[in-house]
Amino acid sequence: MLVNLQKIIGMAEEGNYCIPAFNVYNIETVMGVIAAAEEAKAPVIVQVYPRLLNEEVGYYLCPVVIAAAQKASVPVCFHLDHGPSEWEVTRALRWGATGIMLDGSVHPLDENIAVTKHIVETCKAIGVGVEGEIGHVGSVNDDAMDEFTDPAEAAKFVKETGVTCLAVLIGNAHGHYKKPPKLDIERVKAIREATGGIPLVLHGGSGIPDDQVKAAIAAGVRKMNIGTDVCCAFADGTKETLDDPARSIAVDIFMKKPIETVKKMALEKIRLVGADGKAE
Ligand code: 13P
């Protein structure tokens, strides 16, 4: 069933676990993620990058996500990931998103607060919750990322914007880490405390060691984003098929393996974050 961001984050908050949020790119990655969620009886977030919200991809992909969510027996939220401005937010809402991330983390704090607050108010009119970001989560290729989220700034941001959940920088980054990250778990606790318990979001979920993921969830992370691992699982399944001399070239049959490898990866993440069985 299609649910909004507030509902699915509320489930995680109540049960002290974390919702896996998978970035999807095509019908096969959607199929793999939803198949895993059904098998594990887990609530999931299916999210798209703003670059996909165009007439070439989004026009087809977004209706696929909505159809899959509506058919699913488990709660599924369709979320915009890293929306930079109202333009992308409007497009995502037009295509039925039930969760929005407004990422104003590149702006100074006051500007980030102003733009996020405006989007929270707009989305409230149609019952859609908003994820904000404070402390810019960059790429594993960035030179330095030492401006970790400040708990006092986070408290001000949460109070003034009214976001549903908050993405933070605590040693995480997008992409596969060159060496294992070291998450600042004490900072997670401090941000939770300073904000009165805002549900936190961990971006860059591909490649964080399992014990650190678990510690972050114990400290208050309620949504973990997984993008690179979706791509790698899809590519691995494609390669396996290509390497099989008996493969069929019929695209629907060719795609069975990539769907299966995405499903397998998604099942592992669902279990890691403790979301399995939570939709029963
Ligand atoms: P990874 O690609 O590192 O898993 O990060 C995904 C993400 O955080 C999307 O916002």
Q: In the 3-class helix/strand/coil scheme, how is the chain assigned residue by residue?
A: CECCHHHHHHHHHHHCCCEEEEECCCHHHHHHHHHHHHHHCCCEEEEECHHHCCCCCHHHHHHHHHHHHHHCCCCEEEEEEEECCHHHHHHHHHCCCCEEEECCCCCCHHHHHHHHHHHHHHHHCCCCEEEEEECCCCECCCCCCCCCCCHHHHHHHHHHHCCCEEEECCCCCECCCCCCCCCCHHHHHHHHHHCCCCCEEECCCCCCCHHHHHHHHHHCEEEEEECHHHHHHHHHHHHHHHHCCCCCCCHHHHCHHHHHHHHHHHHHHHHHCCCCCCCC
Q: Among 45, 131, 203, 223, which is best to mutate for testing ligand 1, by the most ligand atoms less than 8 A from CB?
A: 203
Give residue 140 CA to ligand 1 midpoint distance, Å. Answer: 10
Which pLDDT score is estimated for 27? 98
Which pLDDT score is estimated for 20? 98
Which pLDDT score is estimated for 79? 98
Give residue 172 CA to ligand 1 midpoint distance, Å. Answer: 9
Q: Is the CB of 47 under 6 A from ligand 1?
A: no
Which pLDDT score is estimated for 142? 75
Atom of ligand 1 nearest to the CA of 82: 10
pLDDT digits (tens, 9 = 90+) for 241-277: 999 999 999 999 999 999 999 999 999 999 999 999 9
Q: Is 81 a catalytic residue?
A: yes
Which pLDDT score is estimated for 145? 62
Which residues in the chain come in under a pLDDT of 70? 143-146
pLDDT digits (tens, 9 = 90+) for 49-91: 999 999 999 999 999 999 999 999 999 999 999 999 999 999 9
Give residue 269 CA to ligand 1 midpoint distance, Å. Answer: 13
Q: Is the CB of 227 under 6 A from ligand 1?
A: yes
